[in-house]
Structure 1
Amino acid sequence: MIGLLDDAARARMDAAIDRSLQRLEQRAARLGEAAIALAAAATAATSDGKRLRPALVVASYRAFVGHADASSEVDHDAIWDIAAALELLHSAFVVHDDLIDRDLERRGIPNVSGRFRTRAQAFGATPEQSATVGDAAAVLAGDLLLFEASRLVADADVDHATRRALFEIIDDAILVSAVGELADVEHAARADYPDTDALLDAAHDKTAAYSFEAPLLAGAVMAGASDAARTQLSLAAADLGLAFQLVDDLIGTFGSRSQAGRAPGADLREAKRTPLIALARDTAAWPRVSSALAVAHTGPIAVRRAQKELEASGARDDLVALIDDRLRRARTRAASPLLPAAAVALLAEVAGTIERRIP
């Protein structure tokens, strides 16, 4: 996804994100040491990411406005703040997602919860108290990032109609993502096993709405795209977003440490109920797969056995076929005459990048 923007555009995009985070840290500085630590943790949660979502905002805007290869100097000044808003929205979701999953690290370093647990231990808190402090900090840091994303849209130099359209996009993204995250948690807690369609819906809702539909639509709105074009774009983006999440499920099960950013087979160790597992459940090999999954948490040898049983069941091939189908649908929808050629090319590039991520 890095290739979506030229270096000058990436620099302006990064600068807008940095300005917003610096504002947060400057305002926190007058409120004491705890506030400073909270703002620093929120900033750290936003650093070192791929910045896919803001790149999609800018790339979509350029595609619809008709100067996809132009210098960043001719872009609307507000596009950088809108791009930054989508990145901060993503960071907020990541912080809250780590809390929900009880993770203490992100990309190999302590996340907000991890940082504040250590901080609490340093002033003598018990392990239980430290966990409470860490959880509270994660909720609050995520909330700060969510508000900052909204503030960027509210303060952007755009007309009323554009601002209203942007808020509708973000409003939908937050609601749909929250519903998808809740469904994911409830699926894990169910005594019975959710069906494949329910798991696919959750996979779409928790990722596609804010990672693909929202940024692509935000860029199109900034460029003045028609309602019909935005509807067609949304359909293609939904397929791209689901394909992206399904590839992430494959990476979480079969990917290397460098691909997943954590130990291989993490989703198996955590017993996540993903569409991949649902597909295996529909095969005759499910008893063997289920037996292997039941002990996958015990270590790398058990993880490897679960991986082999999943592959032997055909579930991996079935999921790859499903990803291919969603990417094919996205390309077909992108080829609509409602979309400019540059937007068609952008969506094709995104589809190709998702395809190349398949482990």
Structure 2
Amino acid sequence: MTAHQAVAEDLVDRVIEEYFERRIERAERLGPPAAALWRRAAASARGGKRLRPRLVLLAHDALGGSDSGAAAVAAAAFEVLHSALLLHDDVLDGDLVRRGRPNLAGEFATDALVDGVGTPEATAWGSASGLLAGDLLLSGVHALIARIDSPARAELSELVDDAVFLTAVGEHADVGFSLGVMPAEAGGIRRMMEQKTAAYSFAAPLRAGAVLAGADRESADALWRIGTSLGLLYQLRDDVLGVFGAEACTGKSAMGDLREGKRTLLVAFAEAEPAWLEVAHLFGRRSLANHDAERLRAALVSCGAVASVEALIAEQLAQVERDIAASGLPESLRGELGGIARMCVERDA
């Protein structure tokens, strides 16, 4: 990381911290519960890879952008958006842990249990708190974008709206696949991955940086396409880590996707295979035991599903690298995007 990049990322962190400080101060005047909600929302936004802000800044700087303040605010907005969507995702999945520690819903549920509230009520309290905190942060994303003093502000606002629109469509499909109310064929799962993850995590941040830099439409469109491909690559690896990853690295249990019955390409490739059919009754079992989870993992390996996904990851990486090389983007940006593509494949968290 260059000194300039370090300064820019520090500025993003300051924007985020200032955003939460002001909200916490305001919430404190409304009483302890409101303050606790905002403090925990702020805590949920700390840490992580800061990937989305990095993509905004990368595109902005490489394409000749000069408004570092506006870029920092836009980058912060995408990180707050990420935090909002993670809060909602945890509620939808019924997860109480995130990044190896109790998430916001888990903390509120634990407080209620300690106070003697019954388990169903405590769980509902945690879920409601996670949902409302996510709502507040979604509103905050638009408040941050509104602060940007740039002719690009209206386009940025539309870009964020499009990203949230696509993410909601993808999340809805993801839940539908897991519950069995929507047919989970490979093409639909791939579209869901592009909508749920790629749009807001890669395509929109890269395009936002280009928009703020005043880049031409061709460059902005190329970054959206490349970002979508990077997001798919990232999610493919994420789905493998969700079943085979080490919890110490990922911060999430490798049991969650199996217990939830999460319909990924890994499962789609396995479904017609005899080895998977023998254990398929265990998939989606909320009380799934460790030894049964190992049976599911072994079946995914033995039936060739893992090998098929790894082959798809290699194919996707090669395609992304070809698209980056042919994009006409500045050489420095192409190099950075190539490094991000390899990171998506090689990461263990």
Q: TM-score, normalised by structure 1?
A: 0.90
In the TM superposition, 1:108-123 aligns within 5 A as 108-123=100-115
Deviation at 1:269, TM superposition (A): 3.2
Q: Which residue of structure 2 aligns with residue 182 of structure 1?
A: 172
Q: Which residue of structure 1 aligns with residue 11 of structure 2?
A: 12
Deviation at 1:287, TM superposition (A): 2.1
Gaps of at least 5 residues in structure 2 are none
* 1:296–1:303 Cα contact (<8 Å) kept: no
Q: Deviation digits for residues 224-252 of structure 1, max 9, x if unmatched?
A: 11111111111111111011011000001
Deviation at 1:294, TM superposition (A): 6.8
Q: Deviation digits for residues 21-67 of structure 1, max 9, x if unmatched?
A: 1111111121111110111111111112211111111112112117x
Gaps of at least 5 residues in structure 1 are 67-73
Deviation at 1:193, TM superposition (A): 5.2
In the TM superposition, 1:1-150 aligns within 5 A as 6-65=5-64, 76-150=68-142
Give the Cα separation in 2 of the matches to 1:249 and 1:168: 30
Give the Cα separation in 2 of the matches to 1:31 and 1:295: 42
Q: How many residues align?
A: 349
Give the Cα separation in 1 of the matches to 2:2 and 2:239: 23
Question: Which region of structure 1 is more displaced relative to structure 2, 85-94 or 114-123?
Answer: 114-123
* 2:93–2:260 Cα contact (<8 Å) kept: no
Q: Which residue of structure 1 aligns with residue 280 of structure 2?
A: 290
1:241 is the counterpart of 2:240: no
Amino acid at match of 2:103: N
Q: What RMSD over aligned residues (CA atoms) do the two structures have, in Å?
A: 2.3
Deviation at 1:103, TM superposition (A): 1.1
1:227 is the counterpart of 2:217: yes
Deviation at 1:266, TM superposition (A): 3.2
Deviation at 1:271, TM superposition (A): 2.2
Q: Which residue of structure 1 aligns with residue 346 of structure 2?
A: 356
Question: Which region of structure 1 is more displaced relative to structure 2, 117-126 or 26-35?
Answer: 117-126
Q: TM-score, normalised by structure 2?
A: 0.93
Deviation at 1:279, TM superposition (A): 0.7
Structure 1: which 4+ aligned runs deviate by more than 6 Å?
2-5
* 2:100–2:247 Cα contact (<8 Å) kept: no
Give the Cα separation in 2 of the matches to 1:294 and 1:337: 42
Gap change, CA 1:202 and 1:337, over 3 Å in 2: closer
* 2:276–2:296 Cα contact (<8 Å) kept: no
In the TM superposition, 1:250-289 aligns within 5 A as 250-289=240-279
* 1:280–1:289 Cα contact (<8 Å) kept: no
Give the Cα separation in 1 of the matches to 2:45 and 2:285: 35
* 2:109–2:125 Cα contact (<8 Å) kept: yes
Gap change, CA 1:143 and 1:295, over 3 Å in 2: closer
Q: What percent of counterpart residues are identical?
A: 38
Give the Cα separation in 2 of the matches to 1:26 and 1:270: 38
Deviation at 1:291, TM superposition (A): 5.3
Q: Deviation digits for residues 140-176 of structure 1, max 9, x if unmatched?
A: 11111111111111111212xx011111210111000
Gap change, CA 1:173 and 1:5, over 3 Å in 2: farther
* 2:45–2:80 Cα contact (<8 Å) kept: yes
Q: Which residue of structure 2 aligns with residue 69 of structure 1?
A: none
Helix, strand or coil for the counterpart of 2:63?
helix
